[in-house]
Amino acid sequence: MKRNTEFVERRTFLGVLGGLVGLVAMSSSAGLLAAVAVTPVVALSSIAATDTINVFENLPEFLSIDRLSEKSSIYATRTDGSVALLASFYDQNRIEVALAAISPYVRDAAIASEDPRFFEHGGVDLQGTVRAAVSTFAGGEIQGGSSITQQYVKNVLVQKCEIMTDATERRTCYVAATETTPDRKLKEMRLAIGLEKKYSKNDILRQYLNIAGFGGTVYGIEAAANYYFNTAAANLTLPQAASLVATINNPVKFQLDDPLSETNGAANGYQANLTRRDYILRDMLTQRKITRAEFDVAIQTPIEPVITEPSTGCQTAAGSAFFCDYVTHVLRNDPTFGADEATRLLNFRRGGYEVFTTLDLDLQNTAENTIRANVPSTYPGWDVGSVISSVQVGTGRVLAMAQNKDYSQDPAVQATGANYTGINYNTDYVDGGSSGFQPGSTYKVFTLAEWLKEGHSLNERVDSRRKSNWGTFQDSCLGPQNYDKDKWDPKNDAKESGANYSALEATIGSINTGYIGMAKKLDLCGIRKTAEAFGMHRADGDPLLQNAASVIGTNEIAPLSLAVAFAGIANNGVVCTPVVIDRIVDAAGTELPAPQSQCSQAVDPAVTAGMAYAMSRVMTSGTAQQSYQATSPRVPMIGKTGTTDGNKDTWMSGASTKVATVAAVISLTGDANQRAVFFDSGQAATARHRMWPAVMSVANAKYGGGDFAMSSPNAVIRSSTPSG
């Protein structure tokens, strides 16, 4: 009996050698010949490497056990410090976890079904290899026999292909990593043996379970547990674990997310997965991984997935979706995250980033609610839009961003109604926004800044009669510009006919002709440069216009840019570029550098002291009284209104010393006279005065606000900040 046993064992070993020799005979690679020649010895023993097997010593760098592609997530932080998930993004839905965070049932099921001798071999399971060799010689095709380590190697090679951006290269790589040829199989064996010489069994098993595909975009046991059973990998029950491990073998055939799939059969539901699951349970029982009692309960347990779709894409962020979209554009455009846009996007979608944003959910929720209450998403005969942007003074942190549309980047969804759009009307075109909107009289604050900077006082008066010929305006950049009645005939919003307004009166009453009179005493190029110093730029990326008409707001600007400028006025002339990310943590828990706000002195603080006096009077006794009176609690505030020709766009922009907010109702395409349109909440033209105070009331209560530095209206500023 003993001799027969020895004979069988000897025949088995020789069979392995014979099978491998046969495989080697088909191999054209000398390196693989060396690998296979020692495969049986290394696989059967734990002997130290020698010069004869140094082919296993140097693994390719990409095969190192390292972080895998994971989903990245964008968060907002609540007042109590807790975080709220806005959205996740991934090419592969994966959450990498430690072995201790994976149920022992999963580990045992994987070993029992895929590689029973995992802890005994050196990377290649000889019995499985013999079976593959016999199949090869019988049917001419290599199949089966792969150890867990070999499967891990194959998955890594496939992952290497997945990150390629060129479709042809990716396909070629994938074929090379998966084709059923002797060369590919032998290479896989060599790499598996080398892997086991470098890493522990537990490391290999952990990463095998993290890299495995479970169907669709679900990768790794943690994401699979989340998606299919709405639980963590650590909490999977025995039947759940066996069902998930069953899918590793063939995620399409043994899928769990479609009980009536063509593969599984409408009549049998999850029958294919059930059959494979029960097979695994029997293997676990045979190999004493589970008790008979555990087996009896598990085998009688029906398959009952709880499919839980992960948050994916900004559309899951509801009203914060447009802010979320802006964050993704920052991640694509900022060189902090990679050398080019394609690299940056790939890093984000696969890097397992946790992106903690600047969004203030108290202000954001208020912005969303007040837009919803005051401006409909659609209106008969008018392509109506509404926006709100809030920025923290002194930091550039974007606190709120909302609009009256539903977010979708899917053209099919957008086609279902005018309430859907993928365009963020708060931001520049390059950041997913529009080509901008005319801010009307809101833009006058930059002429006011230039007026004060050039040594004029608020009480100085100008010729502000409506004229048929405004004559020549000075422009040190483009040369003198002449405006006769045929080229331009501006008028005042309320038909004011005053002939001698002061700069202060023109600001409080938003008198167009008063500001044109001021511009006549200034340099149009200087006004443009001062506006640029406050961060003004056209939303479409073109240079700012600097004609006389631009003084009263004809440049198309993004609302966020206006909020940044008003925050700069409130910050004593120090303008800080907008930022939306407070911090970023990668999958390893390492904090990455986040884009920083760049702050610069736009004008001398003495200039903004004069501006603050005039703009505070706009709030208390001028065109912004409605917003001022509706704000509670009140702190010192500055502001400016704006209305474009025909009342098609209406704006309210203002700030405390802590927060700046812009609220507007705009015509997206075409136009409508907002004074003739009434929503359920009231006149369209006054919706800005209902929305702005709603947001600023919350901002004032939360952030407070101090006194502005203000100068006398008679003061003549001696500015130390040169034009341009």
Report residue 597 as tokens: 């706000």
Distance between CA atoms of 23 and 136, rounded to whole angstroms?
Answer: 9
> Would you state the pLDDT for residue 254?
87
Query: What is the pLDDT at residue 175?
Result: 86
- Residue 643 in domain: no
In a domain, 166, yes or no: yes
Helix, strand, or coil (residue 107): helix
- Rg over alpha carbons for the chain, rounded to the nearest Å, is 35
* 87, part of any domain: no
Distances (CA, A) of 494 to 489, 491, 647, 682: 15, 9, 12, 20
Q: Residue 291's Cα: distance from chain center in Å?
A: 47
Report d(CA 525, CA 474) in Å as an integer: 8
Q: What is the pLDDT of residue 289?
A: 97
Q: Tokens 């149009």 belong to which residue? A: 524
61, 70, 63, 205: which is closest to 588 by C-alpha?
70
Residue 316: count other Cβ atoms within 10 Å of its Cβ: 17
Count the domains in the chain: 1
Residue 145 lies in a domain: yes
Distance of CA 72 to the CA centre of its chain: 8
Degrees to nearest 5, angle at CA 388 with 385 and 392? 160
CA-angle at 525, arms to 521 and 526, nearest 5°: 65
Q: Is residue 79 exposed (0-12), middle (13-18) or buried (19+ Cβ within 10 Å)?
A: exposed
Structural domain harbouring 295: 2-58+93-299
Q: For residue 48, what pLDDT is reported?
A: 39
Peptide bond into 605 cis (omega under 30): no
Backbone phi, then psi, for 73, in 5-degree steps?
-130, 145
Does residue 206 lie in a domain region? yes
Question: How many percent of the chain have pLDDT more than 70?
Answer: 84
* Closest to 562 (Cα-Cα) out of 359, 388, 322: 388
Residue 596 lies in a domain: no
The verdict on residue 163 lying in a domain is yes
- State pTM to two decimals: 0.76
Other beta carbons less than 10 A from residue 482's beta carbon: 12
**Domain contains 129:** yes
CATH of the domain at 238: 1.10.3810.10
Could you list the mean pLDDT of each consecutive 10-residue stretch along the chain, which spans 724 residues? 32 37 40 42 40 44 65 91 90 87 98 95 82 58 71 87 76 84 85 90 95 89 94 97 93 74 48 93 97 98 88 87 95 82 77 93 98 97 97 98 94 92 96 96 98 96 80 93 73 73 95 94 97 98 94 96 98 98 91 94 97 98 98 98 95 98 96 95 97 98 97 76 44
Q: How far is CA 218 from CA 118, 257, 394, 617, in A?
A: 25, 11, 43, 59
